Chains A and B, each alone.
Chain A
Amino acid sequence: MEKEECISQWHKTRDSSIVRNRKVFPSPEQTHQSPITPESKIKQDDTPCSNGSSGDFSARGSADSPNQLLLIVVTGLSFATRLYKITEPPHVCWDETHFGKMGSYYINRTFFFDVHPPLGKMLIALAGYMTGYDGTFPFVKPGDKYEHHNYWGMRGFCAMLGSFLPIFAYLIVQELSRSHTAALITAALLIFDTGCITISQYILLDPILMFFIMAAVLGMVKFNQQSSRPFTAPWWLWLVLCGAALAGALGVKFVGLFVILLVGLNTAGDLWRILGDLSLSLVDVAKHFLARVVGLILLPLFLYVLVFAVHFALLNKSGPGDGFFSSTFQSRLIGNNLYNVSMPEYLAYGSTITVKNLRIAGGYLHSHWHLYPEGVGAKQQQVTAYLHKDYNNMWLVHKPDNDTQSQTPDLVRHGDIIRLEHKETTRNLHSHLHQAPLTKKHFQVTGYGINGTGDTNDLWQVEVCGGRRGDLVKVLRSKVRFLHKATGCVLYSSGKTLPKWGWEQVEVTCSPYLKETPSSQWNIEDHINPRLPNISLSLLKPNFLEILLESHIVMIRGNSGLKPKDNEMNSKPWHWPINYQGLRFSGVNETEYRVYLLGNPVVWWINLASLGLYLIMVAVSSIAIQRGISLQQKRLEHSDILTGGGGLLLLGWLLHYAPFYVMGRVLYYHHYFPAMLFSSMLTGVTLDTLLRNADLLLCQPYSDWLQRGGQMVLLFTVLHSFYMFHPLSYGMTGPLAHEPGSAMAGLKWMDSWEF
């Protein structure tokens, strides 16, 4: 402690900007008065690497240089491990097929739909564009050869961002624990973790996401250190950087919400502390509050919205994602059938139409040659809502009795009774007093009859919302409701996904609750009638906020729609910390080039053990303090680091891990990686604190040896395990692990590992 202060004093005279990193204790007077000699000794021992290199130059001046030296080493190793064999294998691996494809969509400017926000894919596209990828590779399925396409740029970009993770972790841990060794342990764990290497080396969103998560945490930690100097330039800088990184994290995946929660909780605690500081006036408190609102809420929000604005501006051509969005949205897209559309303006009898539900991400009214299964209402033909454009979305509009064909077709008016015939199967839209398959309060809607002849349950009354009797039905612009004549219910899309028998399309019901909601309102999207003149319709262009809201609701729907399928092996959250099962990135057979995403088991199990150890150590120190046992200053500081910095990391781990237990969507092993970063940082803090307290066990010189030895053993173990498991990341060929002669022979420690 004494030394720390001396250093800061010394620096102050030379360069005041360095001071901020050093001056970390809120009450410097107190530390002045209680100088502890063993502390400075231990500080020197912390930096074993520097002892050899910098010699006995100046104990004061070298304090920063080993730090920088270590940082350079960490940076070098990190980049080297991630960029090594970056172009191998030269074919599409795992989810590259999605994210590479989406990168191509950006380069080609075609509209698509994905459940994740766009930033990650935009960055991938940018990296590809800059390095000469032209967006022509189709990314059809994993295993496709890249051949002459420039894919290395996109992979290299992800690997670069992935390389920053150990560096950020190093800086965060150093800031939280004020110990080089803790930081070094963390960096070693991450650099030599095969899982982190593998996940960084491919065109995936995860390295980008984790980059932003770690950047946000680093910004937050640095910002916390500045708390004694509010409203200075570095204070603002870290605040703004943290906010920007938060926007980035959320812009890549919604998992970014967890780090926002972490920063939010930290900020709330910080504000609570400021509020309790009675030396600050209420105006000061308000200033603090507003600064954080600006830096951590408004700025990220602005950046996030900006990302979407760029996204929508970039993608202006029709593509595979059109059907997920409303008719007005589609009219923006060049090449969509609604772009500068021309069709008969008013709905007429005899027309072929598609009907789209007005709820956001509501589908087209759809039917197909499949019946409802036994036990689900009447065993008649299914009617569903379907999000893609399809020939089965076409319906014919008929009068209740069979049409008498006149020269100019009659127009449909508000209050008319019509019959909708499914064009492909010639069944009528039908409803009756059976329970709907999922929404049991509603009635079932089916396709009934043949060649347009059915019964009275096929009749629907057209109602234009806000219209009067006799009003015409405008195509695209009128909101229409279909009231079932016999039962009085209204055609409704519940938004619930049907099980497998319904092809996971969306349920359509007939609701007896007549309240006007978007779920019960429909619009006529396509309208084909050769006997009526086509008129160019200029749709109301939606404004940006509407588009933003709509795309978010579509994304959230899409995410919750990713339900685990019964027949798929679903990864469970409890599998993850114990490294139960990895993911095949590439290759299955002996002849293929195989990459298997699996954390370095030694690293992961050390992490797991450290979590337990951390809880025990915190419990012991809290009990000791609660019982009033007098402790040395050094131990109190260690206890502070454990509860303060360690607590923050534990919270981070929990926030990035626990929510997966209640998530209904399908889960994969790689979802654990953000949590694993926090867990590794916590390991660094825990093990370092443990080793520093070796003198509880042994007396002075031996305890130092124990500490040094422990650090060495740890480092060596991690290195050696990396040497053993590195083929997981850098590729394996030849026989599988259970056969002799394999590179991984004898390393299949768990039966569940598939290499």
Chain B
Amino acid sequence: PAMLQLPLVVTARLDLVLVLVTLLSLWTRLGGLGYPGAVVFDEVYYGQFLSLYMKRTFFIDDSGPPLGHALLALGGGLPWQRAAAGLSVWSLRLLPALGGALCVPLGYLLVLELRCSHLSALGAALLLLLENSLIVQSRFMLLESLLIFFVLLAFFSYLRFLNAPGRCWSRYGWLLLSGVSCAAGGLSRVTRGQPLQVAFGSQVTLRSSAPRPVPCWLHSHKANYPIRYENGRGSSHQQQVTCYGFKDVNNWWIIKDPARQELVVDSPPRPVRHGDIIQLVHGMTSRLLNSHDVAAPMSPHAQEVSGYIDFNVSMATQNLWRLEIYNREAESEEWKTIVSEVRLVHVNTSAVLKVLAGSDVTAVAEQSTSINLCVCVCLNIVCCHNYPRSGQEQKEREAELHSPTHIDVDRKISFWSKFTELQWKMLTVKQEESEHKYSSAPLEWIAMETNIAYWLHPSSNAQIHLIGNPVSWGVANLSLLAYQLLAALYLLRRRRGFRDLPDGAWQRFASVGLLCGGGWAVNFLPFLLMERTLFLYHYLPALCYLHLLSPALLEHIHTHLLRTSRHVLGVCTAAVLLSVFLSYWTFCPLTYGNPELTANQLQALKWRDSWDILYRRR
């Protein structure tokens, strides 16, 4: 029969350039991924979150919505990688590197979707391929490469949607994909959150919400009140309790149920409510928050507050505190982080814990002798922590206290209320004002005035820096400037009735500018208004758009502006690409951390005075 006559045929069209670019990209991003074997820069940070994801404990992050972390954990959690005991660095870094590698072919396809030629697309792909900063950023367990991938994917699928012939179903598939990647990529910029309630066994820091003297945390440390003060007054000689204005490991307290010995959080957790009697255990020293009828160090009219030490001098413990949630009508009867304002009433003496201004900036926590509503100070929970087990080693405990904060989720809270609470907190909670050694201002990014040192070999000069390819950054800035000038010129001339371009070409020119220039603008300008700590890698998504713009602009100039000396342009382009490659090659040692360079070679690589390149003194 005729049917059997038909050959079994697979016809496939393969863009060999695309394949080649993809391979090169995989090679540059994935080669030697396991090196360095040490934890690099922010990997510390994400790594900790990640292990928490894998343990499926809920935590509060302050860097971005959780998708990126979850993806990282997914990469680490793939079954064939689990086989190895523990997680290898390589497997953790694989996913970001893949994301970073796929950006290059995606850039190629994007330029094609902008209706430029394959040659332009190749140019864009090469610029992305040879961008040292993109390579560095995707070779570690960091989120930016995934972010860039999703941003580009959203952009690409939206263009596919626009360019697809009408009324075909795949078109809406692209639209859907675009939406999904928007949600995935676009949102990963907002910052931080912290929800949830306090349970018995929770580990907390208590911040005074009083305006005066300074916002500070209830604090204790391994030092006792002096037996006699300078003016001759005596003290209990027990452990000092103060209010400390800075974040410190000694600010952590554990909420203990007086009726029980354990310090673990039950499952389900038992929330602390208004009126509950609690004890507070200092995390680092295990002393109980105590108060007694001894004059306080700075204000003798008030009672002293101490971390109780039993000196066997018939001074009984008085460490029971009643929790009063001050704003329980507005909020809830249960103790919630941040929102609840609480007072701690000393059960034996009915006094209230309060902060009095001492002569020093760090104030002293004291006990007022009477309940007086106006002078009472509300304590505000800032962070919650799930205390592991009592009786652990001090060192382990400290490590635990330094790790990111997390808490067991009350499973009864619906997904949506959790979701909205988290979103709201991410938008409203302000970041601490502090500067990182490698942070930079947005305007410095354009000229790449700063770099970030990611890693330095423990014994040699081998090091990895986030430094972009200076030549391609120059090309990117130049093309942005050239595009703006050209667009202004065209606009003015069109307004005066000169039609330099046919309408189709003009529209294409405008849309390229709107998409790429606009992409750059929305990925860059908002940073100018942000007051948080920013780093050079925040600029990378914006940079990608410029790398797409450059070849498109060049093609425009080639087809519409130059009538004669086109081969000159070709030669120039080739020369620029060559120099891009050469500068990539020059900075390779700082990108891959390999080979090691001598101090002189490093000095030669310091193209700008403001770059920090590290030398090891020998």
| CB 8 Å contact bits of A436-462 with B (1 = contact, 0 = none) | 001111000000000000000000000
Give min CB distance, B29 to chain A, whole Å: 30
Within 8 A of A (CB), among B418-452: 434-439
| Interface contact A375-B246, CB-CB below 8 Å | yes
In the complex, whether A278 has a CB less than 8 A from a CB of chain B is: yes
B215 within 8 A of A: yes
- In the complex, the chain B residue whose C-beta lies closest to that of A436 is B435
Contact string, A505-521, partner B, CB cutoff 8 A, digits 1/0? 00000000101000000
Q: Is the CB of B435 within 8 A of A438?
A: yes
> Chain B residues near A373 (CB, 8 Å)?
245-246, 361-362
Tell me which of A275, A441, A567, A664 contacts B437 (CB under 8 A). A441
Are the C-beta atoms of A275 and B246 separated by less than 8 Å? no
Contact of B495 among A272, A439, A501, A513 (CB under 8 A): A272
User: How many residues on A have C-beta within 8 angstroms of the other chain's C-beta atoms?
Assistant: 24
On chain B, the residues within 8 Å of A282 by CB distance are 496
Q: Would you call B246 and A567 a contact (CB within 8 A)?
A: no
What string of 1s and 0s marks CB contacts (under 8 Å) between A702-743 and chain B? 000000000000000000000000000000000000000000
Q: Which residues of B contact A278 (CB under 8 A)?
A: 496-497
A517 to chain B, nearest CB (A): 11
Q: Is B15 an interface residue (CB 8 A)?
A: no
Q: Say whether B211 contacts A275, CB under 8 Å.
A: no
A566 CA / B211 CA spacing, docked (Å):
7
| Contact present for A664 and B531 (CB under 8 Å) | yes
Contact A515 B246 (CB under 8 A): no
Q: In the assembly, what is the distance between CA of A441 and CA of B444, in Å?
A: 15
Q: Is B400 an interface residue (CB 8 A)?
A: no
Which of chain B's residues have a CB closer than 8 A to the CB of A568?
Answer: 211
Interface residue? A313 (CB, 8 A): no
The smallest beta-carbon distance between A512 and chain B, in angstroms, is 9
Chain A CB within 8 A of B610 CB: yes
Chain A residues within 8 Å of B215, by CB: 566-567
- Chain A CB within 8 A of B609 CB: yes
What string of 1s and 0s marks CB contacts (under 8 Å) between A262-294 and chain B? 000000000010011010001000000000000
A664 closest partner in B (C-beta): B531
**Interface readout for A368-389 with B: 1 if CB under 8 Å, 0 if not?**
0010011110000000000000
Write the nearest CB–CB distance from A195 to chain B, whole angstroms.
27
Query: A-facing mask of B583-618, CB < 8 A → 1, else 0?
Result: 000000000000000000000000001101000000
CA distance A655 to B247 in the complex (A): 39
Interface of B is mostly: loop
Neighbouring B residues of A336 by C-beta, 8 Å: none
Closest to B211 in A: A567
Give Cα distance in the complex from A275 to B492, angstroms.
8
Looking at the assembled complex, report how far the CB atom of A468 sits from the nearest CB atom of chain B, in whole angstroms.
24
Across the interface, do A374 and B246 meet the contact criterion of CB distance under 8 Å? yes
**Contact for B612 among A272, A441, A566, A567, CB less than 8 A:** A441
Minimum CB–CB distance from A404 to chain B (whole Å) comes to 36
Cβ-defined contact, B437 with A375, below 8 A: no
Q: Is the CB of A276 within 8 A of B495?
A: yes
Q: Does A500 contact B (CB under 8 A)?
A: yes
Asked whether any CB of chain B lies closer than 8 Å to the CB of A435, the reply is: yes
Interface residues of B in 488-522 (CB under 8 A from A): 492, 495-497
Cβ of B276 under 8 Å from chain A? no
Please, which residue of chain B has its CB at the minimum distance from the CB of A273? Answer: B495
Residue among B214, B434, B436 making CB contact with A500, cutoff 8 Å: B214
A662 within 8 Å of B (CB atoms): yes
- Whether the pair A515, B609 counts as a contact (CB closer than 8 A) is yes
Q: Mark A547-569, 1 if CB is under 8 A from B, else 0.
A: 00000000000000000001110
In angstroms, Cα B362 to Cα A441, docked, is 26
Given the complex of chains A and B, what is the CA–CA distance between A515 and B439 in angstroms? 20
Q: Which of A272, A374, A439, A568 has the most CB of B within 10 A?
A: A374
- Residues of B within 8 Å of A513, CB to CB, are 609-610
A678–B410 Cα distance when bound, in Å, is: 50
Nearest residue (CB) in A for B248 is A375
User: What 1/0 flags go to B208-252 for Cβ under 8 Å of A?
Assistant: 000110110000000000000000000000000000111110000
Q: B529 within 8 Å of A by Cβ?
A: yes
- Residue of chain A at shortest CB distance from B210: A567
Instruction: Report the minimum CB–CB distance from B616 to chain A (whole Å).
Output: 15
Asked whether, in the complex, the Cβ of A500 is within 8 Å of the Cβ of B361, the reply is: yes
Give chain A residues whose Cβ lies under 8 Å from the Cβ of B612: 441
Q: Mark A408-447, 1 if CB is under 8 A from B, else 0.
A: 0000000000000000000000000001001111000000
- A275: B residues at CB distance < 8 A: 492, 495-496
Shortest beta-carbon distance, A709 to chain B, in Å?
43
CB distance from A487 to the nearest CB of B (A): 12
Would you call A501 and B496 a contact (CB within 8 A)?
no
| Inter-subunit contact A435/B214 (CB<8 Å) | no
The chain B residue sitting closest to A566, CB to CB, is B215
By the criterion CB–CB under 8 Å, are A440 and B437 in contact? Answer: yes
Q: A275-B495, A275-B496 are in contact. Are A440 and B436 (CB under 8 A)?
A: yes
Contact across chains for A662 and B361 when beta carbons are under 8 A apart: no
Q: How far is the CA of A546 from the CA of B56 in the complex (A)?
A: 63
Cα–Cα, bound, A662→B436 (Å): 22
- List B contacts of A664 (CB < 8 A): 531
Q: Which residues of A contact B212 (CB under 8 A)?
A: 567
A376 to B438, CA, bound (A): 18
- Smallest distance from the beta carbon of A611 to chain B beta carbons, Å? 23
Residue of A nearest to B215 (CB): A566
Asked whether A566 and B496 contact (CB < 8 A) given A501-B245, A501-B361, the answer is: no
Q: How far is the CA of A435 from the CA of B436 in the complex (A)?
A: 10
Distance from B617 Cβ to chain A, minimum over Cβ atoms (Å): 12
Q: Mark B333-354, 1 if CB is under 8 A from A, else 0.
A: 0000000000000000000000
Contact across chains for B435 and A440 when beta carbons are under 8 A apart: yes
CB distance from A375 to the nearest CB of B (A): 5
- Could you tell me the distance between the alpha carbons of A564 and B42 in the complex, rounded to whole angstroms? 31
B158 to chain A, nearest CB (A): 24
Closest approach, in angstroms, between the C-beta of B248 and any C-beta of chain A? 7
Q: How far is the CA of A276 from the CA of B496 in the complex (A)?
A: 6
A residues less than 8 Å from B434 (CB atoms): 438
Docked CA distance A678–B417 (Å): 39
| Residue in chain A with minimal CB distance to B435 | A440
The interface centre, meaning the residue of B436, B437, B497 with most chain A CB atoms within 10 A of its CB, is B437
For the complex, give the distance between the alpha carbons of A438 and B439 in Å.
12
Contacts of B437 on A, CB cut-off 8 Å?
A: 435, 440-441
Cα separation A57 to B215 with both chains bound (whole Å):
74
A572 to chain B, nearest CB (A): 11
Counting chain B CB atoms within 10 Å of each CB, the highest count among A272, A373, A438, A566 belongs to A373
Specify which chain B residues have a CB less than 8 angstroms from the CB of A276 in the assembled complex. 495-496
Distance between B360 CB and nearest chain A CB, rounded to angstroms: 9
Question: Chain A contacts of B435 at CB under 8 A?
Answer: 438-440
Q: Can you give 20 contacting A-B residue pairs, CB < 8 Å? A: A272-B495, A275-B492, A275-B496, A278-B496, A373-B245, A374-B246, A376-B246, A435-B437, A438-B434, A438-B435, A439-B435, A440-B435, A441-B438, A500-B361, A501-B245, A501-B361, A515-B609, A566-B215, A567-B212, A664-B531
Q: 15 extra interchain contacts, Cβ-Cβ under 8 A, other than A435-B437, A513-B610?
A: A272-B495, A275-B492, A275-B496, A276-B495, A278-B496, A278-B497, A370-B361, A374-B248, A375-B248, A438-B434, A440-B435, A440-B436, A501-B361, A568-B211, A664-B531
Binding site for B on A (CB under 8 A): 272, 275-276, 278, 282, 370, 373-376, 435, 438-441, 500-501, 513, 515, 566-568, 662, 664
5 nearest CB pairs, A to B: A567-B211, A440-B437, A662-B529, A501-B361, A275-B495
